[in-house]
């Protein structure tokens, strides 16, 4: 069966489950709200469910909802729910605006997007409303640069106004890995390419952050062309950027995100609280654009880099 047909069948199955959720009888313990029926969201949902089932959680106690379903979930069902999981930003926003009786955990949500959710809903990070960020830990990003590009010492970063508060944390992470940060603020779309050219003049590598003002579908091609012309490699946060021309990407797959969310769901079901601080991905992948690496006279092996990074972090 092709991947396309698998996605179509899974989408149909989840659509049926979401429709059935409107009349779901009491007994649901884990409520999963998925922003979309896209392949990444379905992969995360499947990984979450598989992990929970492998640990003895009955499939009948796990229900998947569309964001539009949440407001109409019967009171009798809401009283049985022990934990909510929001897959994606839209689902996190809906849960943040709902009066939930159980804790909620977001997944597949970038840091910048979750910060917008917090501002819009008046929530604060807490054991009742937390997230596993899609963004990789800053320490891991800097450690990858040191491993993959040992001769690079200056790391350029572009940040919009909403993300500028991360400048100090980025600087600390860079310094801890023997790197110097060159951060530039981008105030709006019109200022992007002047800021890009400025930061590239003083950087050995450009580190992309998941800031939608800077890195988006409209800007990425021009950013990639500019970095290639400047002979400055781009380290990205998505394998799609590697396919488009970035040298490297450090990211977690939807399956990894779903499995990590399942771990914390199991903690709640065991009677423990979610942490008060935001969670970061514990597993990750690395992609390499071999053609770009050859142009830059680099020899990089994605799996070797991943294993070396894991060894540094003392992960099994």
Which domains are present in the chain? 3-134+254-269 (3.40.50.2300), 138-251+284-312 (3.40.50.2300)
The 3-class secondary structure across the chain, one letter per residue, is: CCHHHHHHHHHHHHHHHHHHHCCCCCCCCEEEEECCCCHHHHHHHHHHHHHHHHCCCCHHHEEEECHHHHHHCCHHHHCCCCEEEEECHHHHHHHHHCCCCCCEEEEEECHHHHHHHHHHHCCCCECCEEEEECCCCHHHHHHHHHHHCCCCCEEEEEECHHHHHHHHHHHHHHHHCCCEEEEEECCCHHHHHHHHHHHHCCCCEEECCCCCCCCCCCCHHHHHHHHHHCCCCEEECCHHHHHHCCCEEEECCHHHHHHHHHHHHHHHHCCCCCCCCCECCCCCEEEECHHHHHHCCCCCCHHHHHHHHHHHCCCC
Query: Is 22's pLDDT higher than 90?
Result: no
pLDDT at 4: 56
Q: Give the mean pLDDT of 16-42.
A: 75
pLDDT at 68: 95
Query: Is 16's pLDDT higher than 60?
Result: no
pLDDT at 11: 54
pLDDT category, 6, cuts 50, 70, 90?
low
Dist CA 236 CA 219 (whole Å):
14
Reported as a single tens digit per residue, the pLDDT across 253-296 is 999 999 999 999 999 999 999 999 999 999 999 999 999 999 99
Reported as a single tens digit per residue, the pLDDT across 257-269 is 999 999 999 999 9
Q: Give the mean pLDDT of 170-185.
A: 97
Dist CA 229 CA 242 (whole Å):
16
pLDDT category, 205, cuts 50, 70, 90?
very high
Taking all residues of the chain, what is their mean pLDDT, rounded to a whole number?
Answer: 92
Query: Is 19's pLDDT higher than 50?
Result: no
Q: Give the mean pLDDT of 115-136.
A: 96
Reported as a single tens digit per residue, the pLDDT across 46-72 is 999 999 999 999 999 999 999 999 999
Dist CA 228 CA 175 (whole Å):
26
Q: Give the mean pLDDT of 131-135.
A: 97
């Amino acid at each position: 069966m092709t991947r396309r047909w698998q996605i179509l069948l899974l989408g149909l199955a989840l659509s049926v489950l979401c429709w059935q959720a409107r009349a779901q009888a009491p007994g649901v313990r884990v409520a999963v709200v998925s922003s979309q029926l896209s392949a990444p969201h379905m992969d995360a949902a499947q990984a979450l469910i598989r992990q929970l089932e492998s640990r003895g959680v009955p499939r009948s106690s796990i229900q998947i909802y569309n964001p539009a379903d949440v407001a109409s979930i019967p009171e009798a069902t809401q009283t049985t729910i022990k934990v909510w999981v929001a897959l994606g930003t839209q689902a996190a926003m809906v849960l943040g605006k709902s009066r939930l009786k159980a804790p909620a955990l977001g997944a597949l949500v970038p840091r910048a997007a979750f910060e917008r959710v917090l501002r819009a809903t008046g929530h604060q990070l807490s054991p009742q409303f937390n997230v596993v960020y899609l963004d990789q830990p800053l320490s891991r990003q800097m450690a990858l640069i040191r491993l993959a590009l040992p001769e690079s010492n200056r790391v350029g970063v572009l940040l919009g106004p909403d993300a500028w508060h991360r400048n100090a944390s980025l600087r600390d992470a860079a310094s801890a890995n023997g790197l110097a940060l060159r951060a530039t603020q981008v105030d709006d779309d019109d200022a992007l390419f002047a800021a890009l050219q400025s930061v590239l003049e003083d950087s050995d590598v450009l580190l992309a952050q998941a800031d939608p003002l800077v890195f988006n579908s409209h800007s990425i091609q021009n950013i990639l062309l500019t970095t290639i012309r400047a002979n400055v490699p781009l380290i990205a946060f998505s394998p799609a950027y590697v396919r488009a021309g970035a040298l490297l990407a450090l990211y977690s797959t939807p399956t990894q995100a779903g499995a990590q969310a399942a771990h914390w769901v199991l903690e709640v079901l065991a009677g423990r609280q979610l942490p008060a601080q935001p969670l970061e991905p514990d597993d990750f992948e690395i992609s390499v654009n071999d053609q770009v690496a050859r142009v830059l006279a680099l020899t990089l092996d994605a799996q070797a880099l991943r294993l070396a990074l894991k060894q540094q972090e003392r992960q099994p």
